[in-house]
Amino acid sequence: MRIDALIDALKRAPGPLSLFLDNLQSCTDAALGRLIDCLCFHTRGDVELVFSSNRELPFDVSRARLEGLLWPITASDLGFDAGEVAALLGPPLCAAIGAEGVEQVTARTEGWPAAVRMAPIILSQAEQPKLACKDFSGSDEALAQLLNRQVLSGFTDGLREFLYCLAQLRIFSVELCVQAIGGADVNAHLACLIERNVFVIPLDQTRSRYRLHGLIRDHLRHEAGRLLSAERRQGLLIRAAGCCEKSGDWRDAVDYALASGSSGTASQILEQIAPSFVRDRGDVLQYIRWLDALHTQGRQAGPEAEYWFAWALAFHRRYDDARKHSAALASRVQRLPAASHDRDLQRRIAILRTSIDSLTDHLDDALARCQRLAERSRRRPGRCFQPHHGALHRQRLSRQSGIVGTMALVAARAAVGMGLSEEARVLLDAGLRESRTHGFLEAAACGLEAAVLLGDGVQPLGLLREIAAAYPPRLSLMLSCFLARRLVRLGRIEDAKAEAARIGITIDAAGRQSRTRPSPGIALSESLIAAVRIELLIASNRHPQATLLIAEELRRAKADDCAARQVELALDSAAIAVRADHPALAVRPITRAVTLSASRRIVRPFDDHIDTLSQVIAATRASAWGFASDDERRFFADCCRRLPAADSQAQARIVALHEAPRLLGNPTPRELELLGYIDAGLSNQQLADRSDVSLTTIKRHLHNLYGKLGVSSRSAALAKARVLKLLAR
């Protein structure tokens, strides 16, 4: 009767009205559900109802949702957004902390109005408000007093202690609390916190997992540092790590283990989950952070976890770090007691190091490791490759040794890059056959690129496309890039453009590039696409556009420490200079390319630009080429030996460069004296002042000296003089 009377009164009320019913969780009357249903479904449309409760209300929620009558308002809806936080902070403080500071306050408070109101008090008292924003937390004295006075003061000692323990957990459930914190009152304490709405935020609709408000957790952890012993906090975290490990919550398991300081527990968990995180999930950044944290504690994980750490570094393109770490790991594993799993790990580490060598352009090391891997695999009948009298020959090996075929593809690309074409063909013969049934994309890409670079019809194009189709689409894109570049170098420009168009790369009549980006975010594909565009632009005589793109790609290649790519770009710049009829301008990029290639034996790009190299050598003097080491001179001479035999002038230069360093004339005593002064760092003017001659005379002496040394600069003169032992020291 009372409900009916209320509904009747609401129907007769003049005008629209709003009715607020607060703290409905306190009402235990069995008729509450009927009252709310009647208010929702039997009142006028201009009657607005606002219900407040921290429990589920006993009414027909589904019907209310379907009829569009229900608008749930959560803590996030009631919290302030960045604009409202800025309005509350005021213009002077906003100017002091900037937009980033406002965002930090909003994130740290999660929009909680009471905490936002405390922010101006705390920040205005700071000498540097902008810096104080970064440290704004529940441990700030003023905010801590507010929390202690208004939130925690009414709790029992047992409930406060439970909260200090609970704050050690990022996300918690009843089961985790029982196992990590323990005690008979866990369920009662959690129910009390939820009942009082003490900033316990549910994370799912079933309310099985929760977290604490960030500021509350900060405050409680700060208080726990004072009131809970270190032993108790460590034990709680170790038990939490064990519970999360059992339930498969690996991220929390590792985080708790590391936070506890128990590196042994963390190492044990990492050893178990490493393949899943790095290989399956690809969550390499998180895995790197974990291992870095463990290493900071002065501990190493197990060999398996450290093996996947090296892969994670490689996947994150930290190639030098991966190379150093894999070398240290190989040394560590070799010291372990011999066991079958150790041998398997040694084999996998060898494969890892081979792959990293290839990625970091250490082609000679990659090829040598591939050969050693193949030789070790010669234990069962089947097919394999082993070095014999400087060549690679087929032997019998079990078909189960598929890794040999995979590594053969990596070795083939390394061999092509070093100019070892015959070895590359032998390696490709078996590697490509196996690649259709097993392997990883990067190795298959090595094999396809090697096959295209050999480019003499040994491998049918249909076979290459069939292999690429067996992998993710990125490999087909890469194959088209390899083919387009090869066709450009063969002079088949129209065919190259057609192949590039297959993957959306076009150059219009004005030299403008298509905006299609077939594989956004994939660094290797982007680099290949850029390489195709550069070569098409050069072939189309669009030199300004090509030069801009070369500069952009060169910055990326240097940042990635990719020597082979830098060599290709340098030689592209040289090709542009020759096409523009300025061969002298090509000397510098070619010299840079030789410097990068000599120690790594990167030969193939010079073969691809043999015409450019020939024209530049024919148009320059010997003194134009300044190489700082014998390795560079020998490497350049080897490249020059590949020039067309008809170029007699080039052949003469080859002989001169290949011979041991020698003088082209005998320096006079005055020239030797000047050489010593140059070594002491004196400028030309200082040389003139010391010798009491004119600056012009000094320049003439130096010109004669450089000619006799066969160099063109001070640094090259000093380097050549040291080799020839012309200097006193």
pLDDT, tens digit, 9 for 90 and up, residues 14-69: 888 899 999 888 888 888 989 988 888 888 888 899 998 877 788 888 888 888 88
Q: What is the pTM assigned to this prediction?
A: 0.52
| Type of residue numbered 344 | D
CA distance 425 to 19: 85
Q: Give pLDDT, residue 395.
A: 38
Q: Give pLDDT, residue 550.
A: 92
Q: Give pLDDT, residue 380.
A: 40
Output the CA angle 203-204-206, nearest 5 degrees.
135
CA distance 167 to 165: 5
- What are 376-386's pLDDT values in tens digits? 655 443 333 33
The torsion angles phi and psi of 586, rounded to 5 degrees, stand at: -85, -15
- Within the chain, which residues score under 50 in pLDDT? 340, 379-401, 457-458, 515-523, 658
Q: Give pLDDT, residue 571.
A: 93
CA distance 535 to 618: 24
CA distance 342 to 350: 12
Specify the DSSP class assigned to residue 513: B
CA distance 69 to 61: 9
CA distance 435 to 431: 6
The torsion angles phi and psi of 167, rounded to 5 degrees, stand at: -65, -15
